[in-house]
Amino acid sequence: MSNKKIGIFVGSLRRGSFSRSIAQAAVSFFPAELEFRFINIGDLPLYNQDFDDDGKPPASYEVFRHAVADLDGFLFVTPEYNRSIPAVLKNALDVGSRPYGHNVWNGKPGGIISVSPGGLGAFGANHHLRQPMVFLNVLLLQQPEAYISKVASLLNEKGELVDESTRTYLKNFIDAFSEWVRTISDAH
């Protein structure tokens, strides 16, 4: 498999984000043939179809759409907000899926890691994120699933993942994700 560009989408904008810490740990386990790019989603205005209908989408929409279109796959790392995904992540999905018929997510492999300081590992966010992926035709890795609970206790004061069992868990997930990207890429 030739090198594949994987976009990393972090659903938390918070300084010191647990999700960003886990995303940074995850990319440390990527094999050499997967190149990663963190894709900024925090500067996108809320999606408004009028922008596209009027032929005047914000420049940030165009930059984002081109960046996503250039990717070969996606890794979403998200917290859970009120038993669902953060608005900023849903907005990014919407911006990339429009205008209708120009879905930049279409047919590419993806994976989800959900992160929570609580005990459920952001289960609700993980499964809510899967719902729009069906319509967007993101070919999600189904197994293994990745839920990381009690994340604050797994990181050091610099936000680095130091818990060895979680590092092993995350590496196993990234190994499966890498194989998934390889499988989808070979099929296309």
- Give the domain range for residue 94: 4-187
Provide the pLDDT for residue 2: 80
Q: What is the pTM of this model?
A: 0.96
Please tell me the distance from the alpha carbon of residue 94 to that of residue 116, in angstroms, as a whole number: 24
Could you read off the pLDDT of 116-140 as tens digits, one per residue?
Answer: 998 877 889 999 999 999 999 999 9
Question: Could you give the number of structural domains in the chain?
Answer: 1
Please tell me the distance from the alpha carbon of residue 11 to that of residue 86, in angstroms, as a whole number: 6
Q: Supply the Cα-derived Rg of the chain in whole angstroms.
A: 16
Provide the pLDDT for residue 185: 86
CATH for 174 = 3.40.50.360
Flag residues of the chain having pLDDT under 50: none
Provide the pLDDT for residue 1: 55
Phi, psi dihedral angles at 127 (to 5 degrees): -80, -30
Please tell me the distance from the alpha carbon of residue 155 to that of residue 163, in angstroms, as a whole number: 7
